[in-house]
Amino acid sequence: MNTERLLGYSFKTPALLRQALTHRSAAAAHNERLEFIGDSVLNCVVAQLLYQRFPAMPEGDLSRIRAALVNRDTLAQLARRLDLSRYLRLGEGELKSGGMQRASILADALEALFGAVFIEAGFTAARDSVFTVYGDLLHDIDPEQLGKDAKTRLQEWLQARRLPLPEYTVFEISGEAHAQHFMVKGKVALLDDAVHGEGSNRRLAEQQVAEKALRLLAALPPGTTKRRGGKHPHD
């Protein structure tokens, strides 16, 4: 299974892997107990790494960074990178409601996989699996930025350069009331075109806009202070 390769671990017990990928809507032998173990293992691995990497950092900052690394959104993003949705076992209701892409289900399944590795092979194997999945995210930790959401980081970036703050606008809402989908566009200084984002609520869509804007701004030539064409931002 490709997920095992990306996880950096090959299971010797197929039933354990199957359980880790099974949502409670699909079978009685589901992944919630493994997710419970995996959550603890993940927190321990990340805490140990941060403790060793930043020996002078106070406990409050360590907790902030750890929370950002192990939260649902980060786990779901990593699960999507592993293409985990292809292997999930969900009940019919969850399948129909888009559970394959639901952040909470993806995050729980990834933690369950870490838990399954721990159960089968112990802490060292589970730790190595966490390091494999997280990769550069753990290697390139920026204590000043990690733990701040994309909208906050974008606002700080613009304020430091005395540029106008972004303007977010919802331009489309689709789907049933219980499963709405929001489309948002953002007008950001220095960028000619509006940046688009989407998500299951306005906040997530705006965060995606901000994340994309930060990447575009980072790609601008050094020293850029005006929008292409020489006009003042938002003219």
- CA dist 46 and 27 (Å) reads 31
Long-range contacts, 209-214 (Cβ 8 Å, 24+): 209/166, 209/168, 209/184, 209/185, 210/149, 210/150, 210/151, 210/153, 210/154, 210/166, 210/186, 211/150, 213/154, 213/166, 213/186, 213/188, 214/150, 214/153, 214/154, 214/157
Catalytic residues: 39, 111
- Strand, helix or coil for residue 182: strand
- CA dist 214 and 218 (Å) reads 6
- CA dist 91 and 75 (Å) reads 22
Which residue intervals of the chain are DSSP H helices? 2-7, 14-20, 32-53, 59-70, 72-81, 92-96, 103-121, 123-134, 136-139, 150-160, 202-218
The letter for the amino acid at 93 is G
The letter for the amino acid at 85 is S
